[in-house]
Structure 1
Amino acid sequence: FSDKEKRNSFIEALQFVVSRHDVLRTCIKSEGLPTPVQVVLREVTLYVEEISLDDSKDILSQLKLLTTSGSQWMDISRAPLLELKSAEDVKNDCYYLMINQHHLILDHVGLEKVISEVTMYLSGDIENLPVPVLYRDFIGHTLHSQSINDSES
């Protein structure tokens, strides 16, 4: 981002989208349970971790090191399954936001939906957003489809 305010507006828009969609407020609880259970929280607040980097070195190169394959780990017992990290390159007027998402909540299609809704929010077009589909309705539809599916036929 070219300034902190634009980055903050993006985070606000992402929070709006997370609040709209059940799946983005999902976590998996397993401690003390015989099998893991998916939990959808009514509310979650995005937390942004501020990363301090060495400003005598290239900031973007340092950020790329943090995204190396195999270097990420996420606690799936805590919602949202999105991790936000911010860093600043004040010398070059660059304000970064790294977003790490767990594949349990977002795939390619879901990510496109999130981007679309963030864009609509930022453009002031939220009145044209469709009513979000409740995750429980999606699960109900999936379970019903499985129950009537005659896979042998």
Structure 2
Amino acid sequence: MADDWRLTALLANGQIINRNVSAGLIAEEASPWHGTAAVDGSPGSEIVLVTSQGAHLQSFEMYTYRNGRLADVNTPGADENTWVIDSASLGFAGVTCGRQGTQSTVLLTSYSRVDGASPGYEGDETLYGWNGTGWTKLSETHRVYGLDDPALRTLGGWRCPGLPEF
């Protein structure tokens, strides 16, 4: 069930701007608010809203102030504003915000459970940098983790200062 919400932002200059958003949340009384974080390299923080929830997977939309309005911040490598996190026995998906020199970066992780002779998780970590108008792919690494690897705890969820992990 999708509910319509009005996102209102107070800018540093005192101007108030609005945008309508839809969010399909589990609990009727739940708010889509997740938090704010400096994600891209532009001044100011981005606004992150939960737009759908499952048992463990969550989808988010991210907005920022550009050209006089609240604009979408598309997921790196995609032409849509859908950011996904997951943490379950079948797999992980995560977003880590960081910097590489002066460039803002996001690391997207996506791992799936692998069973067999060497059970664990296998997937990709893709690093993107903000180029001033969008995301540029910087690197991609394929990795395999064993079932008891402590690094598994860092693969799912948000890892961006200002945002709750889940």
Q: Same fold (TM over 0.5)?
A: no
TM-score normalised by L of structure 2 = 0.26
Which structure: greater strand fraction?
2
Which structure: greater helix fraction?
1
The structure, 1 or 2, with the larger RCO (C-alpha pairs under 8 Å, 6+ apart) is 1
TM-score normalised by L of structure 1 = 0.28
